[in-house]
């Protein structure tokens, strides 16, 4: 699967309150509505700047803080195709796999806002089309790849009636 889009760049330690604020997420489970507020406290115009397929690119510890699964879901509903960061916080990492949002762990220092990227997930490489560079991607652990390939944890449970990593 190849993903293509342009970059929206953020710093280190983007927490899940920034991704979707508590003042919105307690009101509704309507993810289309929550998506309008994604990253609002860091960039009030973020939602309107996204072209479907774009990427969020950040430094280390992306998704730290609260366990809210509204965070990856609102990113999905904002038409972001993947989040790319140097490292991810643990709960967010699991939540992305469970909900089907692709995560790309790689060195993001050479990626700037507005760059056009193409990600080849099967080859494990990120092409920065704007800069003409290739960046290797850290592969997902086998268990997570299995859940992602099944279409998320709900689909995994529907298929097997429980956990099955054999």
Partner 1 sequence: MGKTIAEKILSNKSGQNCRANDIVIADLDFVMAQDGTSGLAIQAFEEMQAKKVFDPQRVAMVIDHSSPSPLAGVSALHKQIRVFANEQDINLYDIGNGVCHQLVPEQGHVVPGDLVIGADSHTCTYGAINVFSTGVGSTDMAAGMVSGKLWFKVPETIKFIINGKLPAGVYSKDLILYLIGDVTADGATYRAAEYVGEAISNLSIDARFTISNMAIEMGAKCGLMEADQKTFDWVKEHSQREFTPVKADPDAVYAWIKEYNVSNLEPQIAKPHTVDNVAPISEVAGIPIQQGVIGTCTNGRIEDLRIAAAILKGKKVNRHTRLIVAPSSRQTMIQAMREGLIEIFMESGAAVVTPGCGPCVGTHNGVPSDGENVISTANRNFKGRMGNPTSFIYLGSPASVAASVIYGKITDPREFIK
Contact residues for partner 1, defined by CB under 8 A: 13, 15, 17-18, 21-23, 25-29, 41-42, 60-61, 64-70, 73, 87, 89-91, 94-95, 98-99, 141, 143, 152-154, 157-158, 162-163, 165
Whether 93 contacts 63, CB under 8 Å: yes
The SS3 of residue 97 is: helix
| Cβ proximity to partner 1, 59 vs 125, nearer residue | 59
What percent of the chain is helix, strand and coil (3-state, nearest 5)? 30, 20, 45
* Shortest reach from residue 14's CB to partner 1, in Å: 10
* Shortest reach from residue 32's CB to partner 1, in Å: 14
Distance, CA of 6 to CA of 72 (rounded, Å): 19
Distance, CA of 114 to CA of 50 (rounded, Å): 11
| Cβ proximity to partner 1, 81 vs 95, nearer residue | 95
| Residue that has been written with the tokens 């604020």 in this structure | 21
| Cβ proximity to partner 1, 69 vs 115, nearer residue | 69
| Cβ proximity to partner 1, 87 vs 130, nearer residue | 87
* Shortest reach from residue 78's CB to partner 1, in Å: 17
Q: How many other C-beta atoms lie within 10 A of the C-beta of residue 121?
A: 18
* Shortest reach from residue 12's CB to partner 1, in Å: 8
């Amino acid at each position: 699967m190849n993903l293509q889009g342009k970059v929206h760049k953020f710093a280190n330690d983007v927490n899940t309150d920034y991704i979707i604020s508590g003042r919105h997420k307690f009101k509704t489970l309507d993810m289309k509505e929550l998506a309008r507020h994604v990253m609002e406290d860091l960039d009030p115009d973020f939602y309107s700047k996204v072209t479907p397929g774009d990427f969020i690119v950040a430094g280390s510890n992306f998704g730290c803080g609260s366990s809210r699964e509204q965070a990856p879901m609102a990113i999905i509903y904002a038409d972001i195709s993947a989040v790319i960061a140097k490292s991810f916080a643990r709960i967010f990492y699991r939540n992305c796999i469970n909900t089907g949002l692709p995560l790309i762990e790689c060195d993001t220092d050479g990626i700037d806002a507005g760059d056009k990227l193409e990600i080849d997930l099967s080859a494990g490489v990120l092409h920065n089309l704007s800069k003409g560079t290739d960046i290797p991607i850290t592969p997902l652990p086998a268990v997570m790849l299995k859940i992602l390939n099944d279409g998320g944890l709900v689909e995994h449970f529907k298929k097997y009636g429980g956990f099955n990593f054999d």
